[in-house]
Structure 1
Amino acid sequence: MLVTVTGGTGFVGSHSVAALLRTGHQVRLLVRDESTVDGALRPLGLDPGRVDVVVGDVLDESSVIAAVRGADAVLHAAAVYSFDSRQRDRMRQTTERGTQVVLGAARRSDVGRVVHVSTVAALFGKGVRVIGPDSPVGTLREPYLATKAAAERIARAHQDAGTPVAISYPPALLGPHDPRLGDQSTRVRDVLRGLTPIWPTGGFPLGDVRDTAALHAEMLTGSLSGGRHFGPGTYVSTKDYLRHLRAVTGRALPAVRLPARALGPVGHACDLLQRVWPWHLPVQYGAIHTCACATRVDDQVRTHPITARPVADTIADTVRWLHAAGHLTDRQAGRRAHPSANRETTAAAA
């Protein structure tokens, strides 16, 4: 089976490509820059020469048509995942308009299976307590959440029209080998660098990118055709998130938790500052707002056999990779995540 993948050099996309190749399928990537393929796939133990590459953009209909032509299935994973206020125009274009172009091209090319990668956050809304496949599209106005909701509406319109589009809803994702150090990996790094001593209450669904990749492979090439499927994950409070990081690293990581809604103005102020400040700020309104609005996935809606890995294992693998990739020092990674740091500390004390 030939599967065309958009966003294949990103976090979700690259791991999904790995899952497809390991089950014996052919993969074709639509990428803006061919040089990014090696850095995305080789760390996963994959030879970049095993994939076909079409250079283009999800906003360019001609390159999208070339990428999906002759494909048996399409995985649309291209999107901008960021709470950075400077990225809102890119989010509107890539996430919303890109979905329109890719799903439209797949329909016109009579592709047999199409998977649109949405997010649980596309279903968050005021007053919502539990979400499932029949939940309405979210109504939140924060730019990332709003653009993912807009893309969700496009995908659902295709489903209503009879196009063979399935939708996956990944939770927030962690795991090793994040080619672009995305939002969630950056947040772990910032915590361990001591940049986020204040946290909002609330929480969010969290999962492992490798589990979501396995789900995508099953949706594209296995028995899960059509429908709406939630990626394996667990709702984690911010308190438990910090507890897991402390357990993995053996560090105290002191932090104060305040009501998420009370921190909203701080997030807005940081977003305004970020527009003129050239360096990354670890505080973002969108992340705070998500913790306030995020809800659990209904336990009764599991539609696949993939079991979520323990959160502690996912966080441990993430921290180890961040250290191995040079994003964390020995001290920041902690004694438990980086055993050699423990030996060094013991030797220094002696």
Structure 2
Amino acid sequence: MVVLVTGGTGFVGSHTVAALAAAGQRVRVLARDPDRVAPALTPLGVPSDAVEVAVGDVTDEAAVSRAVRGADAVVHAASVYSFDSRSHGLTRRTNLRGTEVVLGAAARLGVGRTVHVSTFGALRPSPAGEVGPQSPPSAARETYLASKAAAERVARWYQEHGAPVVISYPPALLGPDDPKLGDQNARLRYVLRGLMPMWPTGGFPVGDVRDTAALHAAMVTAPRERGTRHLGPGRYLSTRDFVGAVRAVTGRRLPTVFLPARAVLPFAYATDLVQRVWPWHIPAEYGACYVCACDARPEPGPPALGPAPRPVTETLADTVRWLHRSGRLTAAQAGRAAGTDRVASAARPVEAAPWRHEEAPS
């Protein structure tokens, strides 16, 4: 089976390529810059010559059609994941238009299975604060979340019209070997560098990119009877529990003040306005604060595809070690995670229930 992966040089995409290759699939990567393929895949044990590279952008219809032709399945993982207000224009262009182009080409060329990588933030919480695969798309006006909700509507339109589209909803993802140091890993780095002494209350689901990649590999071949929409493996954590887990893994005190999320939103919105003209990144984005304020929790449900979510402390320890190895954290900032091989086994476990869910087949 030939599987095309868009966004294969990004965090989710590169790990998905590795999971597909480990499952014995032949992988084709759509990349704007082919020189980024080897740096993204080699650390994951995937030689660059083990994948076919198609050059192009997901918003380029001709390039996407060339890449899709001959593929048995498509994993559409390409998107701009950023709450940085300086990226708003690119986010709007890429996330919605890219989904329209990729899913349209897959349907037109008769691809047997298309996996659309959405996000839990694309879903609107119920009055009880829960989200699930049946939840309607979010009505959030924040640029990233709005763009993913719009892309979600496109994917659901294809499902409703009989196309073989399945959707994943990853949680906030951490993990090692992040080619571009995405939003969540960057936020963890800010915490350990002492740049985030204040957090909003609330919480969000957290997962490991390697678990989500394994889910995507399973979704490519799973029978439709196993469901068409899947929440990614992960655990819900309050922001207090998240900071507590980081403390447990690193052995650092990390003094932190927690402020009511709703009260912080106006400040975060003002920060976004300043960020548009300020050259250095301000780690206080409106979108991240909005997610915490929504405090979305998963609906209970039956086991989904893919592995059980690994412990949060294991994910954090692996991520902190990688940040230290790659020179993004000093030994002092990484704490005891810098010098131990299996910090997670010694760290105090975080009490949080795993959550995975799949929709009944439609």
For residue 286 of structure 2, what is the amino acid of its counterpart? Y
Q: Secondary structure at the match of 1:166?
A: strand
Q: Could you tell me whether the CA contact under 8 Å between 2:125 and 2:131 is conserved in 1? A: no
Partner of 2:72: 72
Q: Could you tell me whether the CA contact under 8 Å between 2:211 and 2:306 is conserved in 1? A: no
For residue 289 of structure 2, what is the amino acid of its counterpart? I
Q: Secondary structure at the match of 2:122?
A: helix
Which digits, 9 at most, give the CA deviation of each residue in 1:159-208, with x for residues without a partner? 00000000000000001100000000000000000000000000100000
Q: Secondary structure at the match of 1:9?
A: coil
Distance 1:288 1:7 in 2: 26
Partner of 2:233: 232
Partner of 2:251: 250
Partner of 1:147: 147
Tell me: CA distance 1:173–1:29, structure 2 relative to 1, closer, same or farther (3 Å).
same
Report the CA distance between 1:270 and its aligned residue.
1.3
Which digits, 9 at most, give the CA deviation of each residue in 1:221-259, with x for residues without a partner? 344666001110110100000000001111000000000
Report the CA distance between 1:335 and its aligned residue.
2.2
Q: Does 1:270 align with 2:271?
A: yes
Q: Could you tell me whether the CA contact under 8 Å between 2:199 and 2:258 is conserved in 1? A: yes
Q: Secondary structure at the match of 2:34?
A: coil
Structure 2, unpaired ranges of 5+: 342-362
Count of residues paired in the alignment: 340
Distance 1:93 1:201 in 2: 32
Q: Could you tell me whether the CA contact under 8 Å between 1:204 and 1:291 is conserved in 2? A: yes
Report the CA distance between 1:294 and its aligned residue.
3.2
For residue 334 of structure 1, what is the amino acid of its counterpart? G
Q: Secondary structure at the match of 1:230?
A: strand
Which digits, 9 at most, give the CA deviation of each residue in 1:260-281, with x for residues without a partner? 0111122112111111111111
For residue 72 of structure 2, what is the amino acid of its counterpart? D
Distance 2:188 2:176 in 1: 12
Report the CA distance between 1:298 and its aligned residue.
1.2
Q: Secondary structure at the match of 2:141?
A: coil
Q: Could you tell me whether the CA contact under 8 Å between 1:73 and 1:114 is conserved in 2? A: yes
Q: Secondary structure at the match of 2:329?
A: coil
Matches within 5 A, 1:14-25: 14-25=14-25
For residue 90 of structure 2, what is the amino acid of its counterpart? R
Q: Does 1:107 align with 2:107?
A: yes
Distance 1:241 1:168 in 2: 23
Distance 1:216 1:335 in 2: 33
Q: Could you tell me whether the CA contact under 8 Å between 1:167 and 1:226 is conserved in 2? A: no
Report the CA distance between 1:338 and its aligned residue.
2.7
Q: Secondary structure at the match of 1:136?
A: coil
Distance 1:295 1:77 in 2: 23
Q: Secondary structure at the match of 1:163?
A: coil
Distance 2:128 2:52 in 1: 42
Distance 2:223 2:327 in 1: 40
Q: Secondary structure at the match of 1:315?
A: helix
Q: Could you tell me whether the CA contact under 8 Å between 1:164 and 1:226 is conserved in 2? A: no
Partner of 2:52: 52
Distance 1:68 1:294 in 2: 38
Distance 2:273 2:285 in 1: 10
Q: Could you tell me whether the CA contact under 8 Å between 2:321 and 2:337 is conserved in 1? A: no
Partner of 2:31: 31
Partner of 1:192: 192
Q: Could you tell me whether the CA contact under 8 Å between 2:119 and 2:169 is conserved in 1? A: yes
Question: Structure 1 length as normaliser, TM-score?
Answer: 0.95
Partner of 1:331: 332
Structure 1, unpaired ranges of 5+: 341-350
Tell me: CA distance 1:15–1:112, structure 2 relative to 1, closer, same or farther (3 Å).
same
Q: Secondary structure at the match of 1:115?
A: strand
Distance 2:72 2:188 in 1: 37
Partner of 2:304: 303
For residue 34 of structure 1, what is the amino acid of its counterpart? P
Which digits, 9 at most, give the CA deviation of each residue in 1:291-313, with x for residues without a partner? 00131111214332520001111
Which digits, 9 at most, give the CA deviation of each residue in 1:11-31, with x for residues without a partner? 000000000001111001111
For residue 162 of structure 2, what is the amino acid of its counterpart? G
Tell me: CA distance 1:339–1:311, structure 2 relative to 1, closer, same or farther (3 Å).
closer
Distance 1:48 1:301 in 2: 37
Q: Could you tell me whether the CA contact under 8 Å between 1:175 and 1:210 is conserved in 2? A: yes
Q: CA RMSD in A?
A: 1.4
Matches within 5 A, 1:79-98: 79-98=79-98
Report the CA distance between 1:125 and its aligned residue.
4.3
Q: Could you tell me whether the CA contact under 8 Å between 1:79 and 1:91 is conserved in 2? A: yes
Distance 2:257 2:307 in 1: 35
- Identity across aligned pairs (percent)? 61
Q: Secondary structure at the match of 2:53?
A: strand
